[in-house]
Amino acid sequence: MKRIIFIVVMIVLALGSVAHGRTYKIATVPWIGWSPINVADAKGFWKDLGIDVRVVTLPDPIAVQSLFKNKLVDIKFDMIGSAAGCYMDGVPITVIAETDWSHGGDELIIKKDMDVSKLKGSTIGVYLNQPPVMYFINKYLSTIGLKLSDVRIVEMETKALADHFIADRLKAIACYDPDALRAERDGNGKLVVTSAAYEGCIPEGMMALRDVLKNIPRKDIAKILKGWIRAVKWIQDENNWEEYVKIMNSHTFKDDTPYSENYIRQMLDTARIHDVKMQLERNQDGGGLITYLNDLRVFLKENKMLRKDFNPTEIFDNKVIMEVLKNEN
């Protein structure tokens, strides 16, 4: 069913891009860390800034990649390490800003009766076979005397991951909620480690293809970023909590059964959505994002995965985000 929805979305977006004027399309998935994008949409923050933005929520990162590479969306939210993967594959991509990071949202789950030492030679199912997920898995494997080459990796959608785990066709998966929770609950699973154990190991943010970005006026990129920042500030105001829960259930998780306030708070705990101060620290020249990309490059080289060498500044352009943040601070 998700694939059918995805195909319909592709057709609608393709027709929309021909039939209408400039509307900026931003692709995302149902992930709490990117929920400010849904808030900005629902609250009309971009409209107030004089820009037309359509948020396209897709079932999984694989679907987002397809729309992105086919230029059916202008900007996507993704793990920033995936931009390095795209670059190495010859896809010219530019990270516009780091906005958040996974802090427990990414989980490694194995069967309760499985000893972690048995991971050697086993298959680990992942929701995306890209550098940031491999980086996370490798960090854990190194704590038990293993390396990435000691396991086999298979990629599939999060729902399929949980289904295969529950059916005993996979003994270990790297996934995120709500499918990670379902795998653990219904598949006799145990949580081994989360991204919270390695703070900042999976930074996330906005990115665009270089030729697409070149055709977006700088002032419009600034307005898109301002809408995001305004939404982050809105979320941080506890007086907006009840309305935020409604937006989560009507936009971010619109295809799921409505979640309780308690569960949404639990999900929020698995992400770190950056405030202005943290965004300044992470996005500045020589800041946290540049450090991460350098560390990721070392990991890729050590594991013979550096298919094409890169300099972080070839992937990340912080000019617009830093201008916006300095005015917001």
Please choose, from the candidates 299, 293, 285, the residue with its C-alpha nearest in 3D space to the C-alpha of residue 311: 293
| Domain extent at residue 141 | 107-197
Q: Residue 271: which pLDDT band, with cuts at 50, 70 and 90?
A: very high
Same domain, 79 and 228: yes
pLDDT at 61: 85
Same domain, 235 and 307: yes
Q: Residue 59: which pLDDT band, with cuts at 50, 70 and 90?
A: confident
pLDDT at 6 over 80: no
Query: pLDDT per residue over 201-246, tens digit each?
Result: 999 999 999 999 999 999 999 999 999 999 999 999 999 999 999 9
pLDDT at 8: 42
Same domain, 232 and 173: no
CATH number where 165 lies: 3.40.190.10
Token pair listed for 197: 């154990």
Query: pLDDT per residue over 173-209, tens digit each?
Result: 999 888 998 999 999 999 999 999 999 999 999 999 9
Please choose, from the candidates 150, 146, 152, 154, the residue with its C-alpha nearest in 3D space to the C-alpha of residue 126: 154
What number is the average pLDDT over the span 77-85?
95
Same domain, 307 and 213: yes
pLDDT at 153: 97
d(CA 105, CA 180): 9
Same domain, 92 and 115: no
Same domain, 213 and 316: yes
Token pair listed for 36: 């400010």
Please choose, from the candidates 226, 206, 218, the residue with its C-alpha nearest in 3D space to the C-alpha of residue 48: 226
pLDDT at 21: 55
Same domain, 13 and 78: yes
Total tally of structural domains belonging to the chain:
2
